[in-house]
Structure 1
């Protein structure tokens, strides 16, 4: 019985330490945050979408509704993607800055690549510092 209890405790500790390592992985944290922001855009949830913006973005767009209008106008494939998947990522300075590709199939059938720049904040959280979106001219479709 004691052996069973010891194995059970070791399994629990192993799972919890694995979860802690995942939570600290800057690339996984970045991807989870980007996905949450895209979900917020799909629900037209300006509050949640704006909450992921870095202080520099919030300084340029101090009102969530102005930010949301800008995204709708200038980043339509990000605002309402037809489909998306994470591409390559790059971590700089042990996760202080993350560059994350998001491959997007727009609702209009055009393919795009969004390159997110995500910065670690002083409190350890990650915020979206900017997005560059470019048409993916190489796509041949399915």
Structure 2
């Protein structure tokens, strides 16, 4: 019984240490997204492309094909009026899912859900982004 109580007492400490261990990763992932969005706004396709993970670069092997895909399929991401980070989850060590709340060029609200993966060099790269119109109110 004493072992069980001791183990239960350790759980909150373990959860706190895991949260702190994930903070640096979450910040790095958010920095990658923020940097890519700023590159899109600045029409800097090469920099925006540099934040794409290898799986994305295999599908879109050039900056031009990547930027065409973003321009034609992700206008709110390509030219946001504003954006802010929402919910975040570390789904596994080195894997982050980050919600980004976006006001698109049309003034409407969107939710982008990014997936990111830590690369062998330690950086985070964007492995995917799903976008949908949001029913929420912009803040």
Query: What range describes the TM-score normalised by the shorter chain of this pair?
Result: 0.7 to 0.9
Partner of 2:36: 37
Partner of 1:103: 101
Q: TM-score, normalising length from structure 2? A: 0.80
- Please tell me whether the aligned partners of residues 83 and 100 of structure 2 are also in contact (alpha carbons under 8 angstroms): yes
1:37-116 correspondence runs (5 A): 37-94=36-93, 96-116=94-114
Unaligned runs of 5+ in 2: 1-19
Separation of aligned partners in 1, 2:78 and 2:67: 9
Separation of aligned partners in 1, 2:42 and 2:90: 30
Partner of 1:133: 131
Aligned length: 119
Shift of 1:135: 0.7
**Cα-to-partner distance string for 1:72-101 (whole Å, 9 max, x where unaligned):** 01000000001110000000223x110000
Runs ≥4 in structure 1, deviation > 3 angstroms? none
Q: RMSD over aligned Cα, in angstroms?
A: 1.8
Unaligned runs of 5+ in 1: 1-20
- Farther off after superposition, 75-84 or 24-33: 24-33
